[in-house]
Amino acid sequence: MITLTNLSKIFRTELIETHALRDVNLQVNEGEFAALTGPSGSGKSTLLNILGTLENFDEGDYLLDGKSVKGLSDAALSRLRNEKIGFIFQSFNLIKDFSIFDNIELPLRYRGLKASDRKQRIEQALELVGLHARRDYLPGQLSGGQQQRVAIARAIAGEPRILLADEPTGNLDSLMARQVMELLEQINQRGCTILMVTHDPEQARRAGRHIQIVDGQLHDSTLYQPLAAVQGA
Amino acid sequence: MSLTLLFKSLLQRKVITALLLVQLTLTLALLSNSVLLSSQAYQLSNQPTGLQLDTTLAIELKPTDENLIVHPALGDLIQRQLAALRQIGGVRHAAFSNQTPLLFGGMNGNVYVEGKQDTTNIEMVPYNFAEAELFDTLQMTLLHGRWLSAEDKNTDNVVITDKLAKQLFSDSHLAIGQQTNGGNIVGVVADMMYQRFASDQYFGLFFNRDLNRADYGYRLLLQVEPQAVAAVRQQIYDSLRQVEPEIDIQQVVSLRQLHRDYFEQERGLAILLSVLSGLMLVVAMISAYSHALFHGVQQQNEIGVKRALGASKQRILVEVLSESWLTTGIGAALGLLASYLLQQQLATVISLPALPLWLPLCGALTLLLCVTIATWYPAAIATRVSPATATKAL
Amino acid sequence: MDNLLHAFALALRNIKRAPLPYLLTVLILSLGLGMFFSNATLYYWLNHDPLPQKSHSLFYPQINSVLQPCDSCTEPMRVLSYQDVQKLSSSGIPSAQAAMFQSAGYARLPGNSDVSPTPVRLRVTQRDFFTLFDVPFLHGERWADDTARRELILSKASAERFFGRSNVVGETLRLGNELFTISGVLQDWEMLPRLYDVANGLNSARSADIYLPWETAFDLGIKSNTTTMSRDERDYSDNFAVNGREGQFYQAQFWVQLDSPQQVTAYQQFMQQLVHSEKEAGRHPRPEANRLTNILDITEHFNARNRQLDAFALVSLLFLLVCLFNASHLSLNRYLASQYEFGLRRALGCSRSQLQQLILADVAVSAALALFLSLAVAAAAMSLIASLLPATRNLTSWNPLMVLTMAGTALIACYLVTLYPALRASFGSLNRQLK
Ligand SMILES: Nc1ncnc2c1ncn2[C@@H]1O[C@H](COP(=O)(O)OP(=O)(O)OP(=O)(O)O)[C@@H](O)[C@H]1O
Ligand SMILES: [Mg+2]
């Protein structure tokens, strides 16, 4: 469902050019749970942002469900993100002034769902992450692990096909981290494709697939399909 | 974005919102009241005057030699001056009077129908010395009876204005032949704006008599060809000095200038308040602008998250704008109330008409427009923030 | 000292970091303060007490002396007749008393009859005028008594205008067709507001050029050029020396100085007795309406307040409020934006008092800037007001005390505006900010 061909990303600042990604080729199939690892500054976040269409790229192409995202308008990209992609950030990124409920509701509103539909989905998502009782809390009143679970609930409430998680457990202790991992696995089992950046080798091992990035280049340790095969697919 | 959410986020930022609301409320209150005052001043200055404002000139003068301020030397001097003024090209008519229409101060007295002082007495009516030519000089319109002629000199005959006649006799044609304490009425002329602080600004009483002493100076009035006004004004001084150097020409003004000064207070206050409301709008715009700017920067992360969750740039723009619309809306509603309160307060100090509802409503719309314009630019900047950077962990 | 410098350096750096929002904040504050200052200046000059040491003892008596019967006329005339003045002067109670009115005339040096004369503002009055209002003499002295005399007292400016010098006591000046000796020259003197002439609404006009004895004016037929009212059929353009003194010709103001409450009561009783005996003599047909008004209440008494300025004062106060709210809103935003930095500072061991110092430095810098700008705004606003409402033209000067007060106001305003935001930024819970 995700296909990157010869994708490159260069950050240009006044002083230097950073080749954050060079010639990346990647194919991710429906239902995969892939872990992205690599040293700091290697381009993991950049790759995830590009996959989430938060960042554009300089060369190559990115096909999502067979369709190139190149040249899509801002509105089209926004809809794409809203409908197909869920994000989980290392720093949770909940909106401080909104209650848990309102935070989760936000993407559903953007999609234009009816209030009753929204409510139902939010309940389900809250049920899944086990925070039903705290629906009216503000993010500041929750612990880090709870906040991250809210963020996950927000990401999955819209039933996205892809979940992009950038170090989701980076700010959590190991117990919390394990809980979050279990949650993600559970979500994956329901058919959601997950790409997760992690520094934890154990987490990487638990994922179905392990992709390593070094200096903006991919080393896929499990499945690496040659370009020709991708094009044939 | 939904209204409930907007409200919630406003409530979260209680203090900022309260500050903003107070300010919007006061701005609107002030805005509508100064428009009210300006429109009042405008209406006042557009009342009919019954006068040829641009082509009538008034000269205020006083002899500096005391031998000249007494009758008959005075009467002789005035006639020589008028004769000289009539020689100036472009002067159509010239006449003497003791006071000028539209000019504060002068000779006022009460008027009542003889024998009916209790029921008809009117205080403060301008008493004007008037010779035959004053009629043409002020371009008066005769409504009933006749104007004063040379034969009326030092007689009891008087002419009054329409409004005064109506006040005294309920219908102005009934005035002819009636006897008042001021004299016997022989004519009624159309209303002219005379003395603002008299009982009524259209009251006037005219009689033909010799001026015994010019302790307060006297006035020479000219009716001039429209194209010759400037040229005539230049020649007046020389012409009068040639007749008699021992005079002090205090001022030469057109009735237009006097008319402008007549409502000086109202006009001045209206302009001041308009300037102030202009400043208020600027202040409201600055505040909306900086609010949106700061807010945008502060909310970068929030906007980034929203973008990641699938909000388009447009949607974010609408969200930011609708927040300022909401505050402006609430402010406007409060401002509506405040407008009426301020109107009441001002009305205790100065005369002020009632506030029509459309005025604060229009004010609110103006405010909304200004706020929108001022919010637009920073809001647009805020949406331009890359969501990738904005969502990065600190 | 070092700390203070550091604080100021930081304040400046803070400004440099976000100059636009900062300048806008200060600008808004200055607009509000400036408009307020301009109004406060006018208001101050219109309402301040010009004679604080003796204003409590100056009174304006009135009696309802008009001879035409009128039962509904319960307000006395604003101005007095010669007869009124005579009667009200006869008590012997006040420590000083003077009747007066304003007039105008033409003056010239006796020699130059071919030069056209100079228009002059006259005040016709009695010798106690100069005591009542503490008018300082530069040369010579006031008239010896209140009888008619051909003696003038000049303002310093007019002495210099006619003679080119100020010590002109003993010189002669022609006023109208009469020759006068100059018996005194005043120091520069203005009384603002000119409360003794409020009856004519002239409280912000300039002082007279020449002072002329009261009886002399009646002898020469010199009348007031402001409010005059006659209530009988006499011809006042003829034989004013008699008619003006005997007839019901109202034109004068009359002031008495009553130093103690006992004197005030005594004078009130005197007025009552006077009216009663007048009534008995059939010379007071109208209802008794005695008034004894203190100089500080006279503006209100004659309903001579400048309503336009009152309205504008109200509105400019509101404007100041708006600007204060606005500026504090902006500075709240500014401080919230640097909240993180504040939190960090405190985490690094900056004490609250040190933080307060930082804030105070910020306030001081803003206040200085705001004061400067607001004085400019105020000056501009006052020249606009003066051109729109010419009656206020003489009320626009500043004395050092006023400027100092304005500086204080600016400082307080800046502090108020910064106080809440700064408190919130610096005393908010640490962990929340750094989370
Ligand atoms: N907005 C940007 N402008 C310039 N350079 C950038 C930008 N974002 C990232 N980079 C550079 O791109 C490279 C890759 O950054 P990226 O954030 O993808 O690293 P990462 O693998 O996620 O590292 P970490 O594990 O520390 O999060 C880095 O060298 C970084 O300096
Ligand atoms: Mg990263």
The string of pLDDT tens digits covering residues C77-95 is 989 999 999 999 999 999 9
pLDDT value for C432: 47
Q: Is the pLDDT reported for residue C15 higher than 50?
A: yes
The Cα–Cα gap between C26 and C330 comes to: 10
Percent pLDDT > 70 in chain C is 91
The residue nearest atom 6 of ligand 1, judged by CA position, is: A11
Compute the average pLDDT of residues A1-5.
90
Of the candidates C195, C188, C212, C207, the residue with the CA atom closest to the CA atom of residue C138: C188
Q: Greater confidence, C258 or B322? A: C258
Atom in ligand 1 nearest the alpha carbon of residue A49: 18
Maximum distance among all Cα pairs of chain C, rounded to whole angstroms: 96
pLDDT value for B252: 94
The string of pLDDT tens digits covering residues C157-181 is 999 999 999 999 999 999 988 999 9
The pTM assigned to this predicted structure is 0.74
**CATH topology classification for A2-232:** Rossmann fold (3.40.50)
Q: Is the pLDDT reported for residue A233 higher than 60?
A: no
Q: In sequence order, what are the beta bridge partners of A165?
A: A88, A196
Contact state of B350 with C31 under an 8 Å Cβ cutoff = no
Q: Greater confidence, A30 or C361? A: A30
The string of pLDDT tens digits covering residues A45-72 is 899 989 988 888 999 999 998 899 988 8
Which ligand number lies closest to the CA of residue A40?
1
The band of A225, judged by pLDDT with boundaries at 50, 70 and 90, is: very low
Contacts 24+ apart (CB under 8 A), C233-237: C235/B212, C237/B70, C237/B212, C237/B213, C237/B215
The string of pLDDT tens digits covering residues B91-132 is 999 999 998 999 877 788 889 998 888 888 898 899 999 999
- Residue pair A179/A169 in contact (Cβ under 8 Å)? The answer is no
The Cα–Cα gap between B290 and C335 comes to: 13
Contacts of A48 in chain B (CB under 8 A): none
Domain boundaries, chain A: 2-232
The residue of chain C nearest to residue B23, with distances taken between CA atoms, is: C322
The string of pLDDT tens digits covering residues C413-435 is 888 888 777 777 666 554 444 44
Best of C234, C310, C388 to disrupt the B interface by mutation (most B CBs within 10 Å)? C388
The Cα–Cα gap between C326 and C54 comes to: 44
Maximum distance among all Cα pairs of chain B, rounded to whole angstroms: 104
Rg of chain C, C-alpha, whole Å: 30
A137 C-beta closer than 6 A to ligand 1? no
Q: Which residues in chain B (315-334) have CB-CB distances under 8 A to chain A?
A: 315
By the CB < 8 Å criterion, does C78 face chain B? no
**Residue ranges for chain B with pLDDT beneath 70:** 1-2, 5, 9-10, 12-13, 294-298, 392-394
Lay out the sheet containing A17-28: strands in order across: A17-28, A2-12, A59-64, A67-68
Instruction: Mean pLDDT check: name the lowest of C135-139, C211-215, C282-286.
Output: C282-286
Please report, as a single letter, which amino acid is at residue B318: V
Which ligand number lies closest to the CA of residue A38?
1
3-state class (DSSP) for residue C321? helix
Q: Greater confidence, C247 or A226? A: C247
Which ligand number lies closest to the CA of residue A37?
1
The band of C343, judged by pLDDT with boundaries at 50, 70 and 90, is: low
The Cα–Cα gap between B205 and C218 comes to: 30
DSSP per-residue letters across B213-278: B-TT-EEEEEEE-GGGHHHHHHHHHHHHHHH-SSEEEEEEEEHHHHHHHHTHHHHHHHHHHHHHHH
The residue of chain B nearest to residue A102, with distances taken between CA atoms, is: B5
Count of alpha carbons within 13 angstroms of residue A133, beta-carbon side: 3
Q: What angle do CA A129, A130, A134 make, to 5 degrees?
A: 110
φ, ψ for residue A75, nearest 5 deg: -65, -40
* Cis bond before residue C193 (omega within 30° of 0): yes
The band of C228, judged by pLDDT with boundaries at 50, 70 and 90, is: confident
Contact state of B305 with A49 under an 8 Å Cβ cutoff = no
pLDDT value for C1: 59
Q: Which residue has the tokens 């636009």?
A: C20
Of the candidates A54, A56, A24, A60, the residue with the CA atom closest to the CA atom of residue A42: A24
Q: Which residues in chain B (87-146) have CB-CB distances under 8 A to chain A?
A: none
pLDDT value for C378: 92
- Closest CB to A110: pick one of B5, B8, B315: B315
pLDDT, mean over chain B: 87
pLDDT value for C430: 47
Domain boundaries, chain C: 2-50+306-434, 64-289
pLDDT value for C187: 94
The Cα–Cα gap between C375 and C403 comes to: 9
